[in-house]
Amino acid sequence: MRLLKYFRVYDLILIALMATLGIAAKPIVVPIAHMITGPLFIPGGAVAGGLYMFWIALAAGLVGKRGTATMTAFTQALIVIVTGAFGSHGIVSVITYTLPGFAIDAVFFIIRRRWETIGDFFLAGIIANLAGTYLSNLVFFRLPLIPLLMSLSWATLSGGIGGLIAYSIHKQIKKLEGVHDET
């Protein structure tokens, strides 16, 4: 409960919105990614992850408080468990969904950075997608080394692109907030 007091109501609304948009995007993004990556023998989940995990990075950037990425990812886990949404793995979802957000928060805590630059969002996207892809491999797939490295490489690329998308959206929202503040 103490953790919730750290966030304003506005922050919690943003977190819930970003978590929900991430879950809503997943059933759209994953099949499209699989149609494109399947024939090329590229791991579809690793590619799709960067395109729906960017919501976690966007939430962290918009709220700007430590723990936001973890809270957003945990909220996603609760949503998929309660609703049985696409991508639910039952109670294991608490771990598989929360780890990417926790990984973002942990890295940014260690390097003592705030969300400011395009590089921060790029790094956050990579961290989230690498964590999610690696954990999915440990829990579900258990790929041999070479396919795992290939999967992690695609996760890095896709996560970075997702981070760039998050930065672009973040920048536009901040620009709109500036216009709103002036009126």
What is the per-residue pLDDT across 134-170, written as a single tens digit (0 to 9) for each? 998 888 888 889 888 999 999 999 999 999 999 999 9
Average pLDDT over residues 66-88: 88
What average pLDDT does the chain have? 88
| Cross-strand bridge partners of residue 91 | 89
The owner of tokens 């506005």 is 10
12-56 tens-digit pLDDT? 999 999 999 999 998 888 889 888 888 877 778 888 988 889 999
- Domains annotated for the chain, with CATH where assigned, are 2-176 (1.10.1760)
Q: What are phi and psi of 144, to 5 degrees?
A: -65, 165
SS3 129: helix
Which stretch of 4-8, 13-17, 121-125 has the lowest confidence by average pLDDT? 4-8
Residue 174 tokens read as: 């901040």
Q: From CA 173, how far away is CA 170, in angstroms rounded?
A: 5
**pLDDT more than 70, % of the chain:** 92
- Cβ-Cβ contacts under 8 Å for 19 (sequence gap 6 or more): 55, 59, 72, 73, 75, 76, 79
Q: Where are the beta strands (DSSP E) in the chain?
A: none
Q: What is the model's pLDDT at position 179?
A: 64
pLDDT band with cut points at 50, 70 and 90 for residue 1: low
Nearest CA-CA partner of 72 in 118, 123, 3: 3
Residue 125 Cα to chain centre, angstroms: 7
